[in-house]
Structure 1
Amino acid sequence: MSRDGRPGRGGKVSLTEQAYALIRKEIIACTLEPGLEFTELDMAERFSISKTPVREALMKLQFEGLVRAYPRRGYVIEPVKVSDINEIFDMRLIVEAGAVQFAVERATNEDIARLKEIALSQDDESYHEQPDRSNSINNLFHENIALASRNARLHRSVMQMLGELERFFYIEARSTMAYPERHASHRDIVAAMEARNVGTARAAMVDHIEGTRNVLLASIIDGRRKSSGWVL
């Protein structure tokens, strides 16, 4: 099953999987806001699912670090942590700079054409209005670079980090902050790959990741000012 609750190749989705997908989606989109306290009954009533699958879903979400349990009290949506953002972006600098280096050396012309198509499909104006679409395209771009590296472990690492950043990107999209160079920097990365220039591609990826980090942190600080329970 995918994280949005759609069945995979196996077909049927269990109630636990449905509960997990529904709750996770609202946590990621901050519909269930960071710092919110709730009980299993609250979620069962919200999604019209019995308490047992809700309890099992919440165990999975605890493992992902999205929910914390308090015995005899209930649960709380984990606040956003600035330290988490910095740790993930430090890892991205190492992993994705390496991924783009290998991609320059190993990507086919078809791989690069696909990356150019994705980069050109991005629209700065719609970023705040259509965060689902924008984040999906952004993740697709970075995933395709990882795939072009022809290294399965690099690909898994990149996808894990992008998954951990989902909620942060939704908070950014809800803020007034803007990063007009985001999509242009994707195109710079593709241009360096087309030229088969490893040094330029690595530098463009590092600049892109640091630019994203800076805007994201500014958005989180903006969110902290507006919603005191959101951020640690």
Structure 2
Amino acid sequence: MAARGKVIEQANERGASLVDSAYAALKHAIRESVFAPGYQASAAELALRLGVSRTPVHEAALRLQEEGLVRILPKRGILICALAPQDIAEIYEVLIAIEAGAAELAAKMPEAGRIVLADDLDRATDAMAQALAAGDLTAWGRADEAFHRLLVERCGNGRFARIIQTVNDQSHRARMLTLRLRPRLPSSEAEHRATSDAIRHGLSGLAREAARRHRIRARDELLPLIESVGLRHL
């Protein structure tokens, strides 16, 4: 009986591992727009394209549906959810609120922790500058995401990171889809450095306002841009 139980346990672990792998692969493909918004396919087709098994893809899709990235359509397959301009506006409201709070909290940390975080934020900003100089917009987008992820994950409030995760995935997809349309990418670097400098020096009010202004500026630039080029969804 003990041996049989061990076999069942190992099988369950393998199944969970396959689902985790399918979830990671499908989520990455959605975030990087390998599967564009509005794309619809069966679990079997997605499994074939991702090189994974069909059953784990269905289980992974259930998790992604909870995160708002896909919709499972009975007998019709899996639909990659699109973001309307109103969705983008709502996502930015969440980002503005949480990241402003995260920057304020980070600036209130003990000095040693503030300096380490500020240095790491500056490294992400340096990577953005290098990518932009090289014309590598994909690398720029990933470095930009790294800055914002570090800010929230390291501010000392673990709930912030959990709350923001879903909209982060959605905002990253919007970021990657609109990079070539946005005229003021260099502005982000200066705004990031204003946030990290305020954190480094423990200026909580300035850190909060710098993070808030940065996201507001990005929102106010992106939404009219989406409208001007006639994008109905991302």
TM-score bracket relative to the smaller structure: 0.7 to 0.9
Check whether the contact 2:69–2:170 (CA below 8 A) recurs between aligned residues: no
Letter in 1 for 2:66: F
Q: Residue 3 of structure 1 corresponds to which residue in structure 2?
A: none
Greater Cα shift, 149-158 or 28-37: 149-158
Alignment of 1:103-122 (within 5 A): 103-108=106-111, 109-122=115-128
- Of 85, 89, 93, which residue of structure 2 is paired with 1:90? 93
Does residue 210 of structure 2 align to residue 204 of structure 1? yes
CA distance in 2, matches of 1:63, 1:127: 38
- Of 39, 50, 71, which residue of structure 2 is paired with 1:36? 39
- Of 52, 55, 61, which residue of structure 1 is paired with 2:64? 61
Check whether the contact 1:122–1:134 (CA below 8 A) recurs between aligned residues: yes
Q: Secondary structure at the match of 1:69?
A: strand
Q: CA deviation at 1:137?
A: 2.3
Check whether the contact 1:20–1:61 (CA below 8 A) recurs between aligned residues: yes
Does residue 188 of structure 2 align to residue 182 of structure 1? yes
With the length of structure 2 as denominator, give the TM-score of the two structures: 0.77
With the length of structure 1 as denominator, give the TM-score of the two structures: 0.78
CA distance in 2, matches of 1:12, 1:50: 11
Q: Residue 7 of structure 2 corresponds to which residue in structure 1?
A: none
Check whether the contact 2:145–2:172 (CA below 8 A) recurs between aligned residues: no
CA distance in 1, matches of 2:30, 2:77: 16
Alignment of 1:1-232 (within 5 A): 14-108=17-111, 109-123=115-129, 125=132, 129-131=136-138, 133-173=139-179, 175-179=180-184, 180-218=186-224, 220-221=226-227, 224-225=230-231, 230-231=233-234
1:148-173 superposed Cα distances (whole Å, 9 cap, x missing partner): 53222234334454233221111122
| Ranges in structure 2 where 5+ consecutive residues have no aligned partner | 1-12
Q: CA deviation at 1:18?
A: 2.4
Bigger fraction of residues in helix = 2
Q: CA deviation at 1:59?
A: 1.6
Letter in 1 for 2:50: F
Q: Residue 8 of structure 2 corresponds to which residue in structure 1?
A: none
Check whether the contact 1:112–1:193 (CA below 8 A) recurs between aligned residues: yes
Letter in 2 for 1:106: M
Q: CA deviation at 1:210?
A: 0.9
Q: CA deviation at 1:142?
A: 2.5
- The structure-2 alpha-carbon separation of the partners of 1:59 and 1:154, relative to structure 1 and needing over 3 Å to count, comes to closer
CA distance in 2, matches of 1:159, 1:61: 12
Q: CA deviation at 1:117?
A: 3.2
| Ranges in structure 1 where 5+ consecutive residues have no aligned partner | 1-9
Q: Secondary structure at the match of 1:30?
A: coil
1:120-166 superposed Cα distances (whole Å, 9 cap, x missing partner): 332162586342x3333223322333355322223433445423322
CA distance in 1, matches of 2:77, 2:165: 31
Check whether the contact 2:40–2:80 (CA below 8 A) recurs between aligned residues: yes
- The structure-2 alpha-carbon separation of the partners of 1:196 and 1:44, relative to structure 1 and needing over 3 Å to count, comes to closer
Q: CA deviation at 1:176?
A: 2.4
CA distance in 2, matches of 1:44, 1:101: 43
Aligned length: 217
